[in-house]
Amino acid sequence: MKTKKNIIVSIALIYVTFFNAQEPSSNDKKPWYKPDYVKMQFGGNIGFISLGIGYEVFENVLFSELLYGYVPKSISQADRIHLITIKNTFPIIKKEIGKNLTISPIAGFATTLDIGTTTFTTLPSKYPDGYYVPTAIHFTLYAGASVHQNFKNTKIFKGADFYFEVGTVESYLWYAITTKEVKMKDIFSFDVGVNFYL
């Protein structure tokens, strides 16, 4: 019963976050469904490579993204992995470091759904209730830094973010806290990515 409640809460979080991300600001003249930027990311527990779209929910406060992530067999050493992620990033402060160039420390969290065949959101019937937690839904915490460059005299992109992050998945963090076999230094992963503003 507790497992089912956790699944329902997780799915609700994904839907609420995504639909909130599409709310237009009062100054937004473009259609509500048009993203503010497109993005590509390597690593970060949401796929070997991830592609998606992003929305600036509140000006310079929250950036929400919908991403598809993929891990090939050569990396997973098993089946191909397909992931859907809602990612939320908060720029903490912004500091100008050059003409049309700013840097910002960032932090955030993501909710990821593994849509492959080797994970589950509902416990298989062969296991008793509560025996395993769902393996298809994960939460990621991360922090890093982002450099933003505004582009002048271009018709394609208005600007770009180049960023790196260090993060961990909630299950890794739990094992590091509750067991001696998993060390805190072993639970973090590194990712890099770019956002192109439309």
**Hey, what are 178's tokens?**
């509750």
Predicted local confidence at residue 33, as pLDDT: 86
Cross-strand bridge partners of residue 147: 103, 162
**Residue 92, SS3?**
coil
Average pLDDT for the chain: 83
Q: How far apart are CA 95 and CA 101, in angstroms?
A: 9
pLDDT of residue 25: 47
Pairing of strands 189-197, 159-169: antiparallel
Give the range of the structural domain holding residue 140, as residue numbers without chain letter.
Answer: 2-197
Q: Write the pLDDT tens digit of every residue in 10-60.
A: 555 554 444 554 444 445 577 888 999 999 999 999 999 999 999 998 888
Portion of the chain with pLDDT greater than 70, in percent:
76
Checking if the pLDDT of 123 tops 80, the result is: no
User: DSSP string covering 93-108, please?
Assistant: --EEEETTEEEEEEEE
Distance of alpha carbon 101 from alpha carbon 153, whole angstroms: 16
> Strands 95-98 and 101-114: what pairing?
antiparallel
pLDDT at 127 over 80: no
Task: State the Cα–Cα distance between residues 150 and 172, nearest whole angstrom.
Answer: 37
The structural domain count of the chain equals 1
- The neighbouring-strand residues paired with 55 are 64
Asked whether the beta carbons of 37 and 197 are under 8 A apart, the reply is yes
Residue-level pLDDT at 82: 92
Note the pLDDT of residue 92: 93
When computed from its CA atoms, the radius of gyration of the chain, rounded to whole angstroms, is 18
φ, ψ of residue 23 in degrees (nearest 5): -70, 125
